[in-house]
Structure 1
Amino acid sequence: MASKLLHKIRHSLFKEETPQTDLSAAAEDCPEISELDDDTEGLSSRLSGTLSFEGEQNIKHEDEGGSSEAESDLDLEESLENDSEGTGFPAGQQPQPLLTVQLQEKWRRSRTRSIPEKVMFEVTNATVVQDHSSKFVLYTIHVIKSGQFDKCPGIITRRYTDFAKLHSHLRKHNKEDMEGIVFPRKKLRRNFAAETIGKRSRAFEQYLAHLYSIADLRRSPVFLDFFFFRDLVEGQSLLRAGQYEEALRCFVNAMNLQEKLGSWQQGNWLFTLASIVASFQELEQLEEAQEYCERALRDLSTHQEEKHPLLVPLLQANVRLSWKISKDKRHSEAHLQKLRDSGVDVGNQPSLKEYLIKESLESKK
């Protein structure tokens, strides 16, 4: 059928006596021509971009002279340039395993990317305690940092009355910040039921997290003392009694709590480090004692160190510890000599342990 149509068209074109306008008449005589033209136009429109085929990136159009490969390479280069970090290929060099390279680069970045940390409060145990005069629930709370494995959580044990006192003091000193903070109400009955203890445990976690989320409250001495002041007092009492292992546990836990709560540059931080030094020193763990002694001296540089009462005891302790473990002590000796030259009576200073035992700890509550 098509060959006959083409023959008629060719015949009409080359006839000298047939005018140019006879083509329309031929089309009228053969309506199949119109149908063929319409189908061709429809097919062209469908192939112009609405359909896709597997491996079409390898198709070359004769009229484009292989331009599809150049456009493909350009797209690859643009995708590399648009990458926020880049893959590091030299200009003009085509990367072959593009997907593999991008995955490897993202993996490298993920290993070095810091994970945001936040403090979390988790009640891990609740024990009903019965003594001679009262009965109460003792809640064990772990203070941990999320975003990484925390192998040294801070641990506290508190009663409902301890939380109630904290809430009362915060409302007294930080009234505006405490607006809208809900505290678990006291019950007259079923205080020791498992359901009540479970609900209070979750409520205390949320309560502490809410307090910590407010900057002025988490820096409040009342809030901070609630966590570690009790350990410092108990540790000092054990240090006076010569129970150095028990004292060390208290001081280390107080240090962990201060680090997690972000209070290591204020309050009793230097007292805590110095107490760890004295405890290790009495236990004859000299390398650990000297390590914490140097740490305390480094942190003293953030204060007015020349006036701090712990400066001379720490320097003298560091000289003795460094000498015993065969470590360079000249820096501490030079610092002591500088203090002598400035008029400080270095010889009449108390030892580190004497200072810590006599130090009066005062709660901010």
Structure 2
Amino acid sequence: MPKIASGEKIQLIAEGEITGEDSLYSERTGKRKFGTSTYKVYGALAGLQEEEEAVKPYLLVWLHGMDNGIELGHLTTIQKRLRHRVIFVVPMCPQTHKGTQFNWGCAFRTRDDKKQLGFVHGKLHEGYLMALTSKISDLAYEFDAERVLVMGYSMGGFGAFQLGGFAPDAFDVVMSVAGYGLGTLEPEDAMYGAPQPASSEIFEEFLTGIASELSRVPIVLAVHAQKDSMSSFRDVKAIIKSCKETQAKRGVLHTAELLEVEDRWADSDRNRKKRRISGHHYFNFSLLDESSEDFLWSKLRKYLSQAPLRLELRPLHIARVGEEPRVGFKCPRCNGPRYIGPDEFSTKAKNLHYRYK
């Protein structure tokens, strides 16, 4: 396992890339490739005592928004707020590949992104979601992570919902800040100007598919302002409601909560004076400033202390059994492979062979 230097606030300890060569096989289209997605891995120990530095870390995946990145100082602040040793995995969205763009796992043709409606016209790309969640699971195993969290702001919040719904057993926490879903309930003459009823139908499919699977994640948090005019509060509220309803049906005692940012804080981020008022600028209030302690972090630490441990299925590799391409998984319980064909690939199929960590 890579070592982290004691006393360092934050340190780059690994980097690499995820490519479409290992994308999920599709009988209809063949291998669905995507552009290169790079990632960096940082270790953070700021503010910890020597004995606290030796505990199993949290592995936190940070998904950037359209501004492409996060400052290292911000990661350090998040680690301090968690009051725990943290391994940060910071991937970059896949590059455009043969006219296809990505908003994390949402893929769409460049021509379909008019008015920035790729999240309406696009579809979830299982190949990339598979590759990214596999890498996350491998890193969690390598660092012997106690908890695995995925977080993001704006487009990154959209990505957090995607990853959590695609591989819910891989995460303890999904947190979307100022995020959104696939499709939208917003009227055609408001906000996005998305076509209706088609956009609502897409969103309802998202709710019954990805959003309902979020109920399997022990902790799902959404941070959002009603005043936000760039990502829909209405849609995020529906996602959390769907998650709670599914939890109730399944009889699981998990946490799904919408933390509402008051209007007065919706444009409180510094250095935003020259930008138009949109209600979408509450990154500092929610995640970094002193206000974030009572608003978010104290709640999250409490939920983490009470939440059940996640299920974990560690990806092995893409393999071939005979002539048919298969997705291979290695079971940490028996150390043997469980092969899943392309038509079987689902959370239910994966859960036939798992272990409690």
**Which bracket does the TM-score occupy, shorter chain normalised?**
under 0.3
Between Structure 1 and Structure 2, whose CA radius of gyration is higher?
1
With the length of structure 1 as denominator, give the TM-score of the two structures: 0.25
Whichever structure has more helix as a proportion of its residues is 1
Whichever structure has more strand as a proportion of its residues is 2
With the length of structure 2 as denominator, give the TM-score of the two structures: 0.25
Higher relative contact order (CA 8 A, sep 6+): 2
